[in-house]
């Protein structure tokens, strides 16, 4: 079985999603490894693809060890249950704990008319420019909104505005190989998330700056 197949199978053990095709889409065939996957439920007040208007109820965020991230949106398209778009990029920044931006350099578009491999449609990859903004924090398991807009090299526009329904997001770390390097990477990501959670606890409990380091270390050991 190919690596992406193993990852998809592992992901299915952790998630219950309204659209199974979402898992296949976030495992990009040209870069199948993922180290984090997060799913959010809510609705899209805006979802435009070229000249079409759609709706959505789920958005997923994925991150690969190579640094590429993406927001994937399954479209509620009555004429195409395989219609899925992904805003993908490698340059991201977080100026505040609850503000995340991803610069978009390509769009991935799947539809029922695309060639299939192992029964799944392969994406069209369109060089693009754009930006995604997320308000919320994965460590807190809460994202209130995601907004993305992009234009591809042919002038087609892609845009969506997503609002969460308040359900805690599902975040999972995925180990895609049994190598020492992958294990270290997964542990590093897990430690970072735990550190963010403990920092948040310190803020909530009003821990003084001089005591924060000791508090965070003890918190991480307890978790």
**208-222 pLDDT, tens digit each:** 988 888 888 888 777
Q: Report the pLDDT averaged over residues 116-129.
A: 84
pTM of the entire predicted model: 0.66
More confident residue, 66 or 53: 53
Across the range 37-45, mean pLDDT stands at 90
Q: How confident is the model at residue 108 (pLDDT cuts 50, 70, 90)?
A: very high
Q: How confident is the model at residue 157 (pLDDT cuts 50, 70, 90)?
A: very high
Give the burial class of 214: count Cβ atoms within 10 A of its Cβ; 0-12 exposed, 13-18 middle, 19 or more buried.
exposed
CA max distance for the chain: 60
Give residue 15's pLDDT.
Answer: 35
Question: What pLDDT shows up at residue 153?
Answer: 93
Q: Residue 42 above 80 pLDDT?
A: yes
Please determine, for residue 23, whether its predicted confidence score (pLDDT) is greater than 60. Answer: no
The tokens for 22 are: 């979402």
Q: Exposure of 78 by Cβ count < 10 A (0-12 exposed, 13-18 middle, 19+ buried)?
A: exposed
CB 22 within 8 A of CB 57: no
pLDDT confidence bin for 14, thresholds 50/70/90 = very low
Which residue ranges make up each domain of the chain? Answer: 3-173, 180-222
Mean pLDDT of the chain: 78
Contact 58, 19 (CB under 8 A): yes
**Position of tokens 């095709």?**
21
The pLDDT tens digits for 173-204 are 765 554 555 566 666 766 766 777 787 788 88
Q: What percent of the chain has pLDDT over 70?
A: 75
Task: Please check the confidence at residue 115 and state whether its pLDDT lies above 50.
Answer: yes
Closest CA to 27 of 113, 156, 117, 100: 117
Is the pLDDT at 131 greater than 50? The verdict is yes
Question: Pairing mode, if any, of strands 116-117 and 120-121?
Answer: antiparallel
């Amino acid at each position: 079985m190919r690596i992406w197949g193993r990852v998809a199978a592992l992901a299915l053990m952790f998630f219950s999603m309204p659209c199974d095709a979402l898992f296949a889409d976030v495992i990009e065939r040209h870069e199948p490894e993922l180290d984090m996957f997060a799913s959010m439920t809510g609705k899209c007040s805006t979802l435009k693809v070229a000249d079409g208007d759609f709706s959505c109820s789920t958005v997923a965020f994925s991150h690969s060890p190579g640094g590429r991230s993406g927001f994937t949106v399954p479209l509620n398209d009555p004429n195409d249950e395989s219609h899925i778009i992904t805003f993908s990029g490698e340059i991201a920044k977080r100026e505040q704990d609850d503000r995340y931006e991803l610069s978009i350099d390509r769009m991935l578009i799947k539809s029922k008319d695309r060639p299939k491999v192992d029964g799944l449609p392969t994406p069209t990859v369109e060089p693009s420019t754009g930006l995604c903004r997320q308000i919320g924090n994965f460590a807190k398991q809460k994202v209130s909104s995601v907004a993305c807009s992009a234009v591809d090299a042919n002038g087609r526009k892609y845009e969506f505005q997503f609002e969460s329904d308040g359900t805690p997001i599902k975040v999972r770390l995925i180990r895609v190989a049994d190598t020492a390097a992958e294990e270290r990477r997964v542990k590093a990501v897990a430690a970072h998330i735990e550190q963010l959670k403990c920092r948040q606890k310190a803020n909530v409990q009003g821990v003084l700056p001089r005591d924060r380091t000791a508090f965070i270390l003890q918190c991480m050991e307890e978790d």
